[in-house]
A and B are shown apart, each in its own frame.
Chain A
Amino acid sequence: NAGVMQNPRHLVRRRGQEARLRCSPMKGHSHVYWYRQLPEEGLKFMVYLQKENIIDESGMPKERFSAEFPKEGPSILRIQQVVRGDSAAYFCASSPSLADYNEQFFGPGTRLTVL
């Protein structure tokens, strides 16, 4: 059973470009969460999605950031017009259900560097 998969593992963008981060949850998991870890900081929740629905986006910046989890394919975290402050590790996690005491399994992360 493959774990949570994220790609790319490393992404370099220039200011103003777009970044697309992908996450495939563990098999059988229908709940996906995105977290961001800034340098020397703890992980911060961004958004929680189920298939085709955003359930909680209270941690998402108001502008430039969006997320989706389509019926087919991976979840996508999209950052438009990136700025240097977006440089961070972005982790995706999945769980089989919300009721499962929120035990979440994390992917290896995408490290975004904005030049």
Chain B
Amino acid sequence: RKEVEQDPGPFNVPEGATVAFNCTYSNSASQSFFWYRQDCRKEPKLLMSVYSSGNEDGRFTAQLNRASQYISLLIRDSKLSDSATYLCVVNNQAGTALIFGKGTTLSVSS
């Protein structure tokens, strides 16, 4: 089983749509969870940390289910500028490194 698994997509949605990404992780000892965004041929950029109680940042909502080892990201009212690859990320057991999923590609069209 891969350490972090994501549906690769692509997700093709119109502007204004709501889209949800899911992710599972294998290491129950992971303590930190993130969503990063990566544009084509660019570096990953932190979108948001994910907390056990769930958290929201504008149009973005992240949820964590530790029992199921499942992380989600919801994007409401999609914009053209949301087109990117979304990376689900957890830390390793030692807390010394980030483990990245391969990413889910989102394409928002007008």
B45 CB within 8 Å of chain A: yes
B67 CB within 8 Å of chain A: no
A61 CB within 8 Å of chain B: no
Partner of A106 from the list B43, B91, B92, B99 (CB cut-off 8 Å) is B43
Distance to closest chain B CB from A49 (angstroms)? 10
Q: Is the CB of A102 within 8 A of B95?
A: yes
User: Which of A14-22, A40-48, A62-70 is found at the contact surface with chain B?
Assistant: A40-48
Q: Is the CB of B95 within 8 A of A108?
A: no
Complex Cα spacing A85 to B87, Å: 24
Chain A residues with Cβ below 8 Å from B34 are 103
Complex Cα spacing A91 to B103, Å: 16
Q: Is the CB of B43 within 8 A of A45?
A: no
B98 CB within 8 Å of chain A: yes
9 contacts between A and B (CB under 8 A): A43-B98, A45-B92, A48-B96, A55-B96, A101-B49, A102-B32, A103-B46, A105-B46, A108-B42
